[in-house]
Copies of this chain bind each other. A is one copy, B any other.
Amino acid sequence: MAARNKPKTEPRTPLSRDRVLQAAVKIADEGGIQALTMRRLAEEVGAEAMSLYYHVANKEEVLDGIADVIVSEINDVVGRIDVPAKGADWKKAVRQRILSAREVLLRHPWAPGVFETRTMMSPAVLRYHDDLVGLMRDGGFSNDLCHHALHALGSRALGFTQELFDPGDGAADEESADAFEQMADQLPHLVGMLMEVAHDDPDTTLGWCDDQTEFEFGLDVILDGLDRMRETA
């Protein structure tokens, strides 16, 4: 045929999972999450849609991937914050971390929505929360209070509310126990906290917590705070 492939031109930087995810973030940043389709993504990296599937299993994995990219970006940013003096000003440290996270999220407005649709917590999310717990423990929080605090901060900590997920999908017990052993050195604060919380309340079998209780805890923190402002106004 006349228009045969040119023999040795077309350098064509090769695809890779990483290049795919970077392109996906770019598309979502520019056109919103609904602009991110496999065909559009292929176009962005200069390939055909089906070629993507060699590097990612399916679109869900792309979404998992870009969520992880953003949380990693957040971890990078908050990791550059100077380590706080231990002790009383935990609040300043946590505040700064959360506001920095928000700053990143404002650059990727689609991200919270994607977080909400992820079923599994990524290592990056766990790491972010582990750091947060570390700060609070240094500030004198009990493990129990840390736990409540994470729930109370909720959407404010990472720009999304978890709540309302299928409670039946947690990994089986012995399996997740193994995973915990392995994570313990990477996520010491988080694992320590969960172990203690789970120990205190054996009902919540590593899986999760009483959402109603946590919702009310967070609600009361806010209502009490508002009440105090009303009185001193």
Chain A interfacial positions (CB closer than 8 Å to B): 91, 94-95, 98-99, 102, 106, 109, 112-113, 116, 139-142, 145, 149, 152-156, 159-161, 163-164, 215-216, 218-227, 229-230, 233
Contact = CB atoms under 8 A, between A and B. Distances in A.
A230 B112 contact: no
Interface residues of A, dominant DSSP: helix
B164 A227 contact: no
A179 to B, nearest CB: 27
B233 A142 contact: yes
A152 B224 CA distance: 12
B227 A91 contact: yes
A94 B145 CA distance: 24
A129 to B, nearest CB: 15
A230 B141 CA distance: 6
A139 B231 CA distance: 10
A229 B145 contact: yes
A130 to B, nearest CB: 18
A164 to B, nearest CB: 5
A225 B230 contact: no
Contact of A222 (B113, B152, B230): B152
A229 B145 CA distance: 8
Contacts of A142: 233
Given A155-B155, A230-B139, A230-B140, A223 B95 contact: yes
